[in-house]
Amino acid sequence: MSEAGPDPARGRLFLVTGPDAVERVAVAVSLARALDRSAVVDGEVIDGMLVSGRMPTDGPLTAERLGQLLLRWSAALAAAETFQLEGFDAVVTDDVQGAHLEDFLDLAAPETVHLVVLRHPSLAPDTPRWGLWVDDDDRSAEETSTHVLDHLDDTRVVTAEPG
């Protein structure tokens, strides 16, 4: 199912995001299974690698907490790029919403990101309307991943101007 991009030897980068961790991971895994060569990179797993000094993920957004979010996303993107360089599509899954979606995409630049936003009642209302938004309905993770692949062009977010 993989389509050739600008560098056919390099895998694509996907981001599956939304506030419901169980749904997000299920869709990411299902999507990865539907691709020819793929890996899932879970931001929560990366966050769990911090053994001491880890900031809580809830509460007020302090400078240190924001720094750890950026560290988490940078590490997830570094792992994703390692897979992509070997020709695997990388499906990153994390709760990246609101104004932070732009921060994540800035870290991913100049990579094109296939963005899937799982709409949920607790999704931050200021989340930019980029990528493919999938309604929180009664679809299974497999049905959602099929929908994503059927609308792959709608997921594409270009993070850098062609130059």
- pLDDT tens digits for 54-104? 777 777 778 888 888 999 999 999 999 999 999 999 999 999 999 999 999
What's the CA gap between 127 and 130, in Å, rounded? 8
Give the 3-state secondary structure of residue 32.
Answer: helix
What's the CA gap between 65 and 53, in Å, rounded? 11
pLDDT above 90 covers a percentage of the chain that reads 74
pLDDT of 48 above 50: yes
Mean pLDDT (the chain) is 90
pLDDT at 55: 72
Give the pTM.
0.90
Phi, psi at 62, each rounded to 5°: -90, 170
In Å, how far from its chain's centre is CA 156? 12
CB 110 within 8 A of CB 127: no
pLDDT above 70 covers a percentage of the chain that reads 92
pLDDT of 49 above 80: yes
Give 13-157's CATH code, choosing from 3.80.10.10, 2.60.40.10, 3.30.70.60, 3.40.50.300: 3.40.50.300
- pLDDT tens digits for 103-152? 999 999 999 999 999 999 999 999 999 999 998 678 999 999 999 999 99
